Amino acid sequence: MGAGKSTVGAEVARCLGRPFLDVDQAIEQTHGPIGDLFEQRGEAAFRELEAKLVRDAGAGSRPAVVAVGGGAVETRRLLEELDALVVLLDVDVETAWERVRGSDRPLARDETEFRLRYELRRPLYEEVADARARDRDDVVLAAAGIRLESHRSVRGDAVVTDQRVAELHEIEAEHLVPPGEAAKTAVEVARLWSALELERGSTVVAVGGGSTTDVVGFVAATYMRGVDWIPVPSTLVGQVDAAIGGKTGIDLPAAKNLVGAFHWPVETVIDTALLETLPDVEWTNGLAEVVKTGLLAGESLWERPTSELVRRCAAFKAAVCLRDPHDRGERGQLNLGHTFAHALEAASGYSLPHGRAVALGLTAACRLSGLDEQARLVEQLLHPEKALVDSEAAWAALARDKKTVEGRPRLVLLESPGEPRIGVELDPTAVRAALDSLIA
């Protein structure tokens, strides 16, 4: 009681695009005030109604968010039987009591009894909970299988990383890949396929930047037709973007990420302590994805402390990916600036850092959106330098972009910060001019 389930539950449901059921409210709508129900029929009758609503919600064909009353721990076997994620919305007893005191809740009329009930139930809460949360973002992260914990807690049957990450963080890895985009090649994929000796029930752990998690995720998706994998991103770009959402892939000379698969990890472990060794240039690369996320969310996320910045960005992307897990609609918004960025990267032979390419792409997308103020903000935050690439090669790569339809680029633009426009088709002359403006 007083944990904020009704408020947070509704926020999570809106964020994930799912129906919301508040069990207490549903009972009151049908049977009247809960206080009257307790007095007339007793707590046992209330628990029966509560259990039926939870069971019916769990049996539905569409995933839902359910806020279930604190007393549901008495029916915890029911919760364990459901194919559902159970999240404990954590609250201390002082806060909970302040929220419910003076209310008409039948179990919140006596402070001593309230505190005793809190202590008795707490072990049961912890027993049944799959995850703990403070707010909406924590619940979304839990729903996406994302844990913000030490990377030392991860266990797997094979670990893949690059030499630099292994040395910096004293990681014992059975397999090494080259750093950066050099890892995302068919040659590296074939080498890993041959080197791995796993069974169908095995788990591969990928520790490193976005390139490492991309290639290892693709290997996991295809090895023995799919084995479990766990990304442990060690860079800012990985923690706020690349390691989230189940997209895996490798590059071809013609274009970036042309070959890949959707293969959701069994979990993603984010340890912001890994960022402490990140060079400034890599921080700036990751900051480009933070700025992109902030423009999509309509929030100045780049102004937050590191741990909160990562948590908020990860939750934003996780929510989008849970709403559209196979990139058939609104997930396309995450490509803001990336149509230009990927073209520049391919034209550079993948020597252009991803973050710098994204920063350039964001300025172009903002200008094409008519948002010159946001374009200037991107430049102030990221200071992107124009790319030294061949214009024709970049244009050819853009034409091969996965979002191109019948040879015409489809862009992600902004109506305003927080209001993305997906699949925008502009005059190719304007798109070419925007691309050329990014090239030295």
Q: Which helix (H) or strand (E) holds 362?
A: helix 354-368
Encode burial over 102-122: b for 16+ CB neighbours within 10 A, e otherwise.
eeebebbeeeeebeebbeebe
Reported as type and span, the H/E element at residue 411 is strand 411-416
Query: Token pair for residue 81?
Result: 């039987």
As to burial, measured by CB atoms within 10 angstroms (0-12 exposed, 13-18 middle, 19+ buried), residue 439 is middle
Higher pLDDT, 76 or 257: 257
380 or 51: whose pLDDT is higher? 380
CA 299, CA 289: separation in Å to the nearest integer?
A: 13
Q: What is the pLDDT of residue 103?
A: 75
At 46 the pLDDT is 85
Radius of gyration of the chain (CA): 24
Q: How high is the pLDDT of residue 2?
A: 84
Of 52-61, 89-98, 141-150, 241-250, the one with minimum mean pLDDT is 52-61
* Cα angle: 65, vertex 66, 68; to 5 degrees: 155
Least confident of 13-17, 41-45, 162-166, 292-296: 41-45
Provide, rounded to the nearest whole percent, the portion of the chain with pLDDT above 70: 99
Burial bucket for residue 245 (CB in 10 Å: 0-12, 13-18, 19+): buried
- On the question of pLDDT at 302 being above 70, the answer is yes
Q: Please calculate the CA angle 55-56-61 and round it to the nearest 5 degrees.
A: 115
Question: Contact, 39 vs 58, CB < 8 A?
Answer: no
Which helix (H) or strand (E) element contains residue 165?
A: helix 163-169
Domains defined along the chain, listed by start? 5-136 (3.40.50.300), 151-278 (3.40.50.1970), 287-440 (1.20.1090.10)
> How far apart, in whole angstroms, are the C-alpha atoms of residue 417 and residue 185?
36
The reported pLDDT for the residue numbered 73 is: 75
pLDDT of residue 349: 94
Model confidence over 375-387: pLDDT tens digits?
Answer: 999 999 999 999 9
CA distance 189 to 160: 12
Q: What is the pTM of this model?
A: 0.93
Structure tokens at 303: 């102004």
Rounded to whole angstroms, the Cα distance separating 246 from 322 reads: 10
Mean pLDDT of all residues belonging to the chain: 93
Q: Would you say 219 and 189 are in contact if contact means Cβ atoms under 8 Å apart?
A: yes
Q: Where are the alpha helices (DSSP H) in 200-241?
A: 210-222, 236-237
- How confident is the model at residue 75, as a pLDDT? 67
Q: Mean pLDDT, to the nearest integer, of 38-49?
A: 86
Residues 6 or more apart whose CB falls under 8 angstroms from that of 112 comprise: none
